[in-house]
Amino acid sequence: MKKLLVFALALVAMAACRQQASEEAPAADGFVRIEGHDLIKPDGSKLFIMGTNLGNWLNPEGYMFGFKKTNSGHFINEMICQLVGPDAAREFWAGFKDNYITRKDIEFIASTGANTIRLPFNYKIFTNEDFMGLNDENEGFRRVDSVVEWCRDNNLYLILDMHDTPGGQTGDNIDDSYGYPWLFESEASQKQFADLWRKIADRYKNETVILGYELCNEPIAPYFANVDSLNAMLEPTYKRATAAIREVDNNHIILLGGSQWNSNFKPFSDWKFDDKIMYTCHRYGGPASAEAIGSFIAFRDSTGLPMYMGEIGHNTPEWQADFCKAMRDNNIGYTFWPYKKIDNSSFVGINRPAQWDSIVNFSEADRGDYFAIRAARPDQALSRGLLNAFLDSARFENCVPDTAYINSLGMK
């Protein structure tokens, strides 16, 4: 009798464990999946990606503030510290992160007919390295958690894009690096890269709002004499990060960009080393026709996997309308770059505060030594006021939607 009782209790315990596991791990069909060249939603319908990028928010770029030479995140931070001091710089970045993208921005994006948002971020936001006024490894999760919630409430999918990797993957301003893609030659950077993706994936492994993880943006600029040897390191680096993700998350799609501005897919040979891979290309300018993306289409067709245009933009509405038609005709989804910036050529434009040129002029001035910094620096009280005015101008309610730009994307 005692043996029967023990057996019965064991069965109850096993059933309870199965029930708990079922509650903790949603069915895989709750996620977007790949079927040939298509993405398929949980209800079985096709997902054709259309949307925008939240560029500049968690990976500042100078031109979106109106700067030219001061064009990467750490350049901008140094300039603001020289302008108003480190305490005021930290206050600016806190206000920037709170004001630049809010729930209202996500609601507006959804109202345009978009179904997907790509979220670029600097890896430092998930570490204790100083970035945008903080050294807090949880800041990235706080910001992404908010966007996940806002996207869920507005029926939008989210792509997480590590735009700036440890060591730098591009070697230019866009990856906030030191002018070379050290990621591919540094074991420490590669380990941190894989470890961070494992950490991020573990947090979001059951989050169905997230479409997938884009491992890095525009790897390996074309400027380097050893570009071929760097290209050869791209696929192994992707495999290492993917393996780290798969230790904790088998649900999400992995997005892989080509080298040289996400345009060169020749470095890839093992196209299907994972069963949830899609590729992502970028294109700015050129003919607004299928011929301009012919190499992307050919690569897509050779792999039998989806291709998605992660970045495109900064052109006339007429050009954009023609190019969007070419992409729709060839089953390549798109997210335009960027959603918001100073002036226009985006979903919404930020009006320059009066006298903003005094900040721009300082950003462009010779600041190569301390004498030059002191000589070029405008009035500090004026500068603090202008930085606060920029934060106010960047709030959604004070931005100017570019209706012609949005309509050209054909999302409704």
The mean-pLDDT minimum among 12-26, 69-83, 95-109, 356-370 falls in 12-26
CA distance 236 to 245: 14
Q: Does pLDDT of 56 surpass 80? A: yes
Question: Would you state the pLDDT for residue 199?
Answer: 98
Q: Distances in Å between the alpha carbon of 84 and those of 79, 91, 378, 399?
A: 9, 11, 10, 25
CA distance 85 to 133: 12
CA distance 18 to 356: 61
Q: Does pLDDT of 7 surpass 70? A: no
Helix (H, G, I), strand (E, B) or coil at 3: helix
Instruction: Considering only residues 9 and 256, tell me which one the structure prediction assigns the higher pLDDT.
Output: 256
Contacts of 160 (CB under 8 A, 6+ apart): 119, 121, 144, 200, 204, 210, 212, 213, 214
What average pLDDT does the segment 44-64 reach?
98
pTM: 0.93
What average pLDDT does the segment 383-408 reach?
98
Q: Does pLDDT of 22 surpass 80? A: no
Question: Would you state the pLDDT for residue 28?
Answer: 54
Q: How many residues does the chain have?
A: 412
Residue 207 DSSP one-character state? -
Mean pLDDT of the chain: 93
Share of the chain above pLDDT 90, in %: 92
Residue type at 49? I
Q: Does pLDDT of 18 surpass 60? A: no
Please report which helix (H) or strand (E) contains residue 159, including its range.
strand 157-164
User: Tokens 């069915």 label which residue?
Assistant: 27
Please list the residues that pair with 121 across neighbouring strands: 58, 162
CA distance 167 to 182: 5
Question: Would you state the pLDDT for residue 344?
Answer: 84
What average pLDDT does the segment 272-276 reach?
97
CA distance 282 to 311: 5
Phi-psi region of 344 (alpha: psi -120 to 50; beta: other; left: phi over 0): beta
Phi, psi of 214 (to 5 degrees): -95, 110
User: CB–CB of 292/283 below 8 Å?
Assistant: yes
Helix (H, G, I), strand (E, B) or coil at 15: helix
Contacts of 83 (CB under 8 A, 6+ apart): 89, 359, 362, 377, 378, 380, 383
